[in-house]
Structure 1
């Protein structure tokens, strides 16, 4: 199974061939790097760092294998917000509200999925850029659309369309957050069709494995396709476009494919529980194999108010790389593989080889748990890391910094 890929659609058949070529090149480069590192430091196996790579079509493909994990916190950081110039802005905007959801009762002769589709699909749009297309959806009466960061990529304006018969509408990219793979696009609200009722967000902490999951999007450019499945797992992690980690991701077996990126994942009440972002694929493939991933709605609700105002979101950063190779991890904890120069951890006295076993007294079982713990903090926060070093435990006070634009 290859690493999850972003479900972004340009010329998807060409992209599939391109992905296979890129994966082969990346694997060859990883092996060469590992051999060089092993020659330089005999006795220690070198592992590749999984990083995002942009293809010629402006999309993102997973590259190399996961051996080391850059820890800076995942997507749902309670971090401070910065204005467009990087200066300290006012207090964080309040998160978007979650709306209580109850199952929709279908009308006679109609399925629940059909009823939800009839209500929600008018608010789902296609978003086209210079390099491809994806999906988005309307969330308010002011013309605010949600999509993925990797859909809009570097474009500042996009083309939005409601349905196959809708007009082309100019959309302005208001804000992006590569750390959560989310973006906000604004359109003139008068251009939205009258039947496009804004979609509302559910509280994703209430989602359970086995719940109904309904995806609406534009797979392979096929307008507003609906698929139904269940929530197949919770608490997954994904790599964001800037190389950091997205936490609390929802896994679903609802069929999603290239072009579904940025579309809503809905519960049985028609509320948004996530934004479809990535899929797992078989070697050399680009289509659905029953494993899709969505950024959870609580992350979306937290990040969107700042993006809507044109701000950047600042996430907490520890500045370490964690060894996540299970062959070398024999006890619970997060093993420090490397430190970023002048990063928070290095400045505080953390050393390579330290095993982090707790943050602020809360146990840390592995690399993902450490990332989640940092994710809940804000830049400037002080934390206490409990580490094992040379057979003894010590507590280290660390002041977190704002995460850099991409993994160092």
Structure 2
């Protein structure tokens, strides 16, 4: 047997140790190169079971056979709100659906009923019957604590690819976007986390794994992510979802008036919001507000025009409804009105709109 000189033995032992150290370091690197990667992986692992795939199906008649077929209209994402089987998604994901299905993380598909919709906030609540007992929910965060630069993570199903993670930061706060109802959604979160078609309705999470928003829209000339995505803040979601569950819609206090349409206002170049009709026994009637009326010659005359509520200028229905959403029944509002060439003030106590 040939003996290896001691220096060679030492060299081989050192080389073997170096290779082992390199292998261990490589394994550690492949596991988590940084603390940020470890954080992203942990959040995705815990949150992804709560994210669902929502499919919107509609009916279409065959042009030749006249047979009615059910076809996919679109799809998006959503997330489990509670263990009873309630799911939150975007309104535009399920708009116009004949049937809605929800696919959970385990690929089990469930028929879903629409519990409530809020087109003005682009939110909807669905319910699946007989949900599994092991449903996973997301911890709810506070969107008022967000700052520009904070890390956020979006989970969804872009282009039908299930449970995809993208990461980024809060790019801006307080943005405004248009809802499907053409209402303005205010206080929106802007993020550079990639949001693509199919991500809509999925959760936006902070670095603690808490829900801070619902991904809802992108700004993109091409239709794909251009690094500008928008999410409805979770504080808005917390206000809206309980109303959708209880009433099927958002409840706002009532003034008891019928208003002119924004199109009519623009066409006639009216500065303010014209009152078309005042309902008998309403707060507006009690305050002496007057709607449109016919004069002695039978001509329709403009009634009161709301120009301001408190310190907020009113130019459209969106302005008017945005003010009401900030108040409760029983609150008193001071309205500035224009009646012909005269200006007047009216104090109105808001009523319940149930």
SS in 2 for 1:129: strand
Q: Say yes or no: does 1:385 pair with 2:335.
A: yes
Alignment of 1:162-181 (within 5 A): 162-163=104-105, 166-181=107-122
The Cα of 1:230 is off from its aligned counterpart by 1.4
- SS of 2:173's partner is strand
Q: Separation in 2 of the partners of 1:183 and 1:394? A: 40
Contact 2:275 2:306 in 1 (8 A): no
Query: Which consecutive residues of structure 1, in runs of 5 or more, have no partner in the other structure?
Result: 1-104, 324-334, 404-408
Q: CA-to-partner distance for each residue in 1:261-285, whole Å, 9 max, x for gaps?
A: 1111111111111111122222xx2
- Structure with the greater relative contact order (CA < 8 A, sep ≥ 6): 1 or 2? 1
> Aligned to 1:342, what secondary structure does the other structure show?
strand
Residue pair 1:221, 1:259 contacting (<8 A) in 2 also: yes
Match of 1:339 in 2: 274
- How far residue 237 of structure 1 moved from its aligned partner, in angstroms, is 2.3
Q: 1:307 maps to what in 2?
A: 244
Match of 2:218 in 1: 279
1:147 matched to 2:85: no
Q: Normalising to structure 1: TM-score of the pair?
A: 0.59
Aligned to 1:122: 49
Pick one of 280, 290, 295 that aligns with 2:227. Answer: 290
Aligned length: 283
Task: Note if 1:185 corresponds to 2:149.
Answer: no
Which has the larger displacement, 127-136 or 303-312? 303-312
- Residue 57 of structure 1 corresponds to none
Q: Label 1:396 to 1:106 Cα distance change in 2 as closer, same or farther (>3 A).
A: farther
Cα distance, 1:156 vs. partner?
6.4
For the residue of structure 2 that corresponds to 1:303, the secondary structure is helix
What's the offset of the Cα at 1:388?
A: 8.9
Structure 1 residue runs of 4 or more that deviate by more than 6 Å after TM superposition: 105-109, 320-323, 343-347, 350-354, 365-370, 387-393
Identify which range, 150-159 or 294-303, moves more after superposition. 150-159
TM-score (norm 2): 0.67
How big is the shift at 1:376?
0.2
- Distance in 1, Cα, partners of 2:138 & 2:229: 21
- Highest Rg: 1 or 2? 2
3-state SS of the aligned residue for 1:260?
Answer: coil
**Within 1, Cα distance between the matches of 2:332 and 2:342?**
23
